[in-house]
Structure 1
Amino acid sequence: MRVFVAGATGVLGTAAVRRLVAGGHEVTGIARSPEKRRVLRSLGADAADAGIFDTAAVRKAVEGHDVVCNLATRIPIGTAMMRGSSWRENDHVRADGSAILAKVAAECGVLRLVQEAVAFVYADAGEDWITEQSPLALVQATRSSVTATENAMSFADQYRFAVVLRFGAFYGDDANTRWQLDRVRKGKPVLLGDPDGFVSAITVEDAAGAVVAALAAPTGIYNVAGEPVRRAEWARALATAAGTDGSARYVSGLACKFLGAGAEVAARSLRVSSDAFHAATGWRARTDLAEGFAPAVKVMR
């Protein structure tokens, strides 16, 4: 298939492009600079110089493709994630960019749209499993993910497929993972929430595999994450990856009160089930915690 990827030079996008090309697909990705265009071409993909908000340029780039994968985001790094103002650019990309891509894809005769989304939209569920029918609890940083979901689902009809992937927290060779490991090495607090609560994370490589699997999924919204672990286990894995003893430190309850809505989201217990996506495609996360942190550890040496 001919696959167009928005966000092709991001962390997830690069991994997904590599997987798509390896799977025999003809891939075109958005790349706005000569350096990024070289990266895409080195992966075996074509590059399109089209800003995601430039409808005419996007239409020209998408024409002739069978699938559009929208993986474009602008995720804040580190403590900036706690500030609502830090999410404005990401909100613009997710909400407005997804609307343009869904509209253009329909006009260009694209048959399938794959949209990135996040599992952080779900309410704290404690010990309970979270499915696609579980209640949502939205804050500013997550509302645009729901908007992008709605835009993608509006693309679907009896001839066209829309697949939304609600990913767990990414980890691997990405900026936020490296930021966390650096703080753990310095003995600074990095975790929020109850140690008995659940974390549902996913490596970048496993997420890229899910993007490829989505090319054969029925229309729908799907949770996509690795096996949930207790936050205490996650804390120990962070410490091990950082090369320190014990566990990563937690932000105090008093400090959390000053961090805003972002802290409440990060502290939620999210025991996310990916069973629906597995049933639809056969996909499962394959990476354990030690393997998942290894790429970031290698870069930081």
Structure 2
Amino acid sequence: MKVFLAGATGVLGRPTVRVLIQAGHEIRGTARGSEKADLLRSLGAEPVEVDLFDPDAVRTAVAGNEAVLHFATKIPPIMRMRWKGAWRENDRLRSIASKHLVDAALAAGSQAFVYESITFLYGEHGDEWIGEDGSLSISSDLLKSTLDAERETRRFTESGGRGIALRYASFYAPYAQSTLDTVRLARRRIFPVPGDGSNFISSIHVDDGARAAAAALQASAGVYNVTDDEPLRMRDYARAVTDAFGLKPARRVPKWLFGLVGGGPARYLLSSQRVANARFKEKTGWAPKYRSAREGWQQIAQELQGQEK
């Protein structure tokens, strides 16, 4: 299958290119600059530099592809996440660029459109398992722009294609800045656990996320949760990180202080989200290699510590 991948050099895009190439697909992926273009070529993909906010340029780039994956994001560093302005380009990629990509996919006669959504849409659910029909809690522009993109994905389905929204849990990857920031903070014992840390956090190793993207190309239209099998309570997630690196346990901080310092995005880490992946597993046969963050962070530690030697 010929596949166009927006965000091909991003945290999820990079391993997705690798998985799709190994499966025999032909990949055309977006890349900014010669260094990222060379990266895609080294993986066996065709790089293309395109302004995703230019509808004509997007249509030209997408032409001839049987599937379109929209994984383009602009996530700010952890220390800037509390500033609303830091999310502006990411919001535009989810709202404006999604429309252009769906229009281009329809014009190209593509069979499938896959969008990288997020499980943060669900908000607070306590200890309850959350399926795709779980109630949503839209409390920020970040989440509103994600719903804009999901609406565009449904429009693709309503126009005769297969629109698939993958609601991904929190990624971790050995090259992701957010992961590296987490490790840096944990080593300094300032990776805080809010309150008693009893809230659930759902996560997914990026390699499992990439295999889910490949599986989605054959999925029926709809919304699917992509997360590991065992969401952990925040205190256990933090312990998985520190144990993987042989560090002392993370410090506890009051919830009010965590929210004050972390700003708006902190509410996502204060919410309890025990997200279920049963629908996607049943429909596609996909299953995560790393069943929980305990196993996943062990792999992260092995890779990062290997690089440091």
TM-score (normalised: structure 2): 0.92
> Are the equivalent residues in 2 in contact too, given 1:7–1:29 (CA < 8 A)?
yes
Are 2:64 and 1:30 aligned? no
CA drift at 1:104: 1.0
Change in Cα spacing, 1:75 to 1:115, as seen in structure 2 (3 Å) is same
Q: Deviations over 1:3-44 (max 9, x none)?
A: 000000111101100100000000000112111111101000
Are 2:273 and 1:293 aligned? no
Q: Deviations over 1:69-124 (max 9, x none)?
A: 00000111113223322211111111111111011111111111000000001121
Distance 1:223 1:108 in 2: 28
Counterpart amino acid of 2:148?
T
Unpaired stretches in structure 2, ≥5 consecutive residues? none
Change in Cα spacing, 1:11 to 1:124, as seen in structure 2 (3 Å) is same
Q: Which is worse superposed, 86-95 or 291-300? A: 291-300
Distance 1:181 1:300 in 2: 13
Distance 1:90 1:299 in 2: 30
TM-score (normalised: structure 1): 0.95
DSSP 3-state at the match of 1:156? helix
How many residues were matched structurally?
A: 300
Are 2:21 and 1:15 aligned? no
Q: Which is worse superposed, 233-242 or 185-194? A: 185-194
CA drift at 1:257: 3.9
DSSP 3-state at the match of 1:39? helix
CA drift at 1:292: 4.3
Change in Cα spacing, 1:300 to 1:123, as seen in structure 2 (3 Å) is farther
Q: Which is worse superposed, 184-193 or 224-233? A: 184-193
Q: Indicate the residue corresponding to 2:71 in structure 1.
A: 71
Are 2:277 and 1:274 aligned? yes
> Are the equivalent residues in 2 in contact too, given 1:241–1:297 (CA < 8 A)?
no
DSSP 3-state at the match of 1:11? coil
Q: Indicate the residue corresponding to 2:60 in structure 1.
A: 60
Change in Cα spacing, 1:22 to 1:51, as seen in structure 2 (3 Å) is same
Change in Cα spacing, 1:137 to 1:42, as seen in structure 2 (3 Å) is same
Change in Cα spacing, 1:79 to 1:270, as seen in structure 2 (3 Å) is same
Q: Indicate the residue corresponding to 1:232 in structure 2.
A: 235
Q: Indicate the residue corresponding to 1:147 in structure 2.
A: 148
* Percent identical residues: 36
Match of 1:243 among 232, 238, 246: 246
Change in Cα spacing, 1:82 to 1:241, as seen in structure 2 (3 Å) is farther
CA drift at 1:159: 3.6
Distance 1:238 1:169 in 2: 14
**Equivalent residues in 2 for 1:1-301 (5 A)?**
1-138=1-138, 139-157=140-158, 159-173=160-174, 174-192=176-194, 194-226=196-228, 227-245=230-248, 247-258=249-260, 259-287=262-290, 288-294=295-301, 295-299=303-307
Distance 1:175 1:162 in 2: 30
> Are the equivalent residues in 2 in contact too, given 1:8–1:72 (CA < 8 A)?
yes
Change in Cα spacing, 1:115 to 1:274, as seen in structure 2 (3 Å) is same
Q: Deviations over 1:208-249 (max 9, x none)?
A: 00000001100000010012112121111111233312x222
Distance 2:307 2:78 in 1: 18
Change in Cα spacing, 1:12 to 1:298, as seen in structure 2 (3 Å) is farther
Counterpart amino acid of 2:169?
G
Distance 1:94 1:297 in 2: 35
> Are the equivalent residues in 1 in contact too, given 2:244–2:298 (CA < 8 A)?
no
> Are the equivalent residues in 2 in contact too, given 1:256–1:263 (CA < 8 A)?
yes
Counterpart amino acid of 1:143?
K
DSSP 3-state at the match of 2:29? strand
Q: Which is worse superposed, 150-159 or 85-94? A: 150-159
